[in-house]
Structure 1
Amino acid sequence: MMGPVLAACLLIILSTAWISQANEALCKKDGGVCSCNNNKNSVDCSSKRLTAIPSNIPVDTDRLELHMNKLSNLPSKAFHHLSKLTYLSLSTNQIQSLPNGVFDKLTQLKELYLYKNQLQSLPGGVFDKLTNLNKLWLQRNQLRSVPKGAFDSLSSLNILYLNDNPWDCSCNDILYLSKWIREKEGTVNGIESATCVGNKAVLDITEKDAASDCVSPNTTTAIPTSTTTPASVIYDDIHEIKVPQENFQKFLGYQEPDHLPTQPQCLMSISGYLGLMMSLMLTSAAILYVFHFLKKA
């Protein structure tokens, strides 16, 4: 009687392995660069030395991690198919500018991390659609000022970090930010830490302090974008992964960047296909084994 019991146990184990293999194959839609948690709709593409955002991230993704890569620019429609995002991390990259429509579709976004990049300015209206955003991290960039009205639409905001930017308080463009910080002090945490190049608090700047004509800050006052190299970056330097986006598209059989592969296409990756075939063969063998002993019994 032990034969059928053992066979049944083997069948359960193999079935579990098959399901796990299937989920893994479905998850790695970009050739294996990103890892996913399908149950939580989470995609982790961090620390992969990516120079471009994978174009085939699942549309139902809720959490997207792209920090600690080598992103220097973002396409204006990079996130337009990810309207369900509530968490987006782009920190510790090399982003120098943002397209003014890049976050417009992320109306459900609650957390946006842009710290430790090379942002020198923000386009007008870049945050206007983010009415549900409650956390925004902009510290450790190269920001000198923000456009008038930049934060006015962020009605749900309760955390905003602006420190370690070379805020130019000699220019009257700083007056909007100074006034906004004073009005939100005590309501939005972290904003008081914004300081001018001369170490004076931005919230203390008045019209008398800011000259009518903007003066470019001394380039020597610019804050370094990185002072230390995290261990994960060192590890990535040893295990560098280069996966051109066009290879993803040719492999998965689609051309348009916003067109997502279907599940059958995703399952046809080499590793996933071989794993599924092996699991199916072993599962079939186990089923035959069970029937064989049941028939004898």
Structure 2
Amino acid sequence: MGSMGPPHPSLLLVFARASCLFLLFCLCLGDSCPQPCQCPDHVGSVAVDCSFRGLQEVPQDIPTDTVLLKLHANQISHLPDGAFQHLHRLRELDLSRNAIEAIGPSTFTGLAGGLRLLDLSFNRIQRIPKDALGKLGAKIRLSHNPLHCECALQEALWELKLDPDSVDEITCHTSVQEKFVGKPLVQALDAGASLCSVPHRTTDVAMLVTMFGWFTMVITYVVYYVRHNQEDARRHLEYLKSLPSAPASKDPLGLGP
């Protein structure tokens, strides 16, 4: 039986073309546009538009070279830790008009270097952890959120680069100080007010009640102690009075007959 000769050059060419097509398909598949989204050209950069898609979570197959990501007007309520950490080239992230309720310290991990704009307006955010957004150098929009104005929020805002076009629309839905409710937070803080100097009335009342309780206990003990000692002294005096007195001696000088 004769040995097989080298493969025909045409077969090698077909194999090489098939390999290239398969590799190209894999590369395109890896950076393809997410199924419910659109990826129009945006000044030569990769833009991913997932707006008005009824999404309840952030898509996991967003291309790694995305520069602009629009996720506004969806139903996203939760942002997992590191949801955008693979998007190292991301410059603008629009999460406005969703149902986001909370932001974790690691939600935007990986975006500190290049992000320029983060839109979180028109959501349901009540509190912002101090370290959740402080490391971002981007302009941040927080207007139209039911924020709870407290000292932690004030400290967090001090470290943020708020968007000047929407900063006056950041209002207090609730507050540790009633005078802030319904008012623009930034204007109140610019006027010299502070959320970190609230008198702790509850603590003061509790301390006053505790001190009054201790004082009452001390007075009660003192009164009991005095009355108890008076009673003992009275009984001792009555006991002494009840003792028979010694008969008087008829010979006080002790001289007998």
TM interval, shorter chain, is 0.5 to 0.7
Offset of residue 104 of structure 1: 2.7
> 1:111 matched to which residue of 2?
117
| Contact in 1 for aligned 2:176/2:195 (Cα 8 Å) | no
Q: Which whole-Å deviations, capped at 9, do the CAs of 1:93-146 have from their partners, x for residues lacking one?
A: 000001111113112111111110000111121112212x1x221111110225
Counting only pairs closer than 5 Å after superposition, residues 127-146 of structure 1 correspond to structure 2 as 127-131=133-137, 133=138, 135-145=139-149, 146=152
Match of 1:36 among 17, 36, 39: 39
* Cα separation, 2, equivalents of 1:164 and 1:214: 27
> 1:166 matched to which residue of 2?
172
User: Residues 150 and 207 (structure 1 numbering): CA distance in 2 closer, same or farther, change over 3 Å?
Assistant: closer
* Cα separation, 2, equivalents of 1:209 and 1:25: 52
* Cα separation, 1, equivalents of 2:173 and 2:70: 28
**Further displaced range: 38-47 or 59-68:** 38-47
SS at match of 2:39: strand
> 2:199 matched to which residue of 1?
212
SS at match of 2:69: strand
SS at match of 1:150: helix
Offset of residue 148 of structure 1: 4.9
User: How many aligned residue pairs are there?
Assistant: 169
Does structure 1 residue 49 correspond to structure 2 residue 54?
yes
* Cα separation, 1, equivalents of 2:201 and 2:54: 37
Q: TM-score, normalised by structure 2?
A: 0.56
Larger radius of gyration: 2
- Which fold has the larger relative contact order, with Cα–Cα distance below 8 Å and residues 6 or more apart in sequence? 1
> 1:66 matched to which residue of 2?
71
| 1:144 partner letter | H
Counting only pairs closer than 5 Å after superposition, residues 72-151 of structure 1 correspond to structure 2 as 72-107=77-112, 108-131=114-137, 133=138, 135-145=139-149, 146-151=152-157
| 2:75 partner letter | K
* Cα separation, 2, equivalents of 1:79 and 1:151: 22
User: Residues 209 and 103 (structure 1 numbering): CA distance in 2 closer, same or farther, change over 3 Å?
Assistant: closer
SS at match of 2:143: coil
SS at match of 2:148: coil
* Cα separation, 2, equivalents of 1:90 and 1:103: 12
Q: TM-score, normalised by structure 1?
A: 0.49
Q: Which whole-Å deviations, capped at 9, do the CAs of 1:67-118 have from their partners, x for residues lacking one?
A: 0000001011111111211100000000000111111311211111111000
| 1:37 partner letter | P
SS at match of 1:64: strand
Offset of residue 207 of structure 1: 5.2
Does structure 1 residue 202 correspond to structure 2 residue 206?
no
| Contact in 2 for aligned 1:111/1:136 (Cα 8 Å) | yes
Give unpaired runs (5+ residues) of structure 2. Answer: 1-24, 203-257
* Cα separation, 1, equivalents of 2:128 and 2:162: 20
SS at match of 1:35: coil
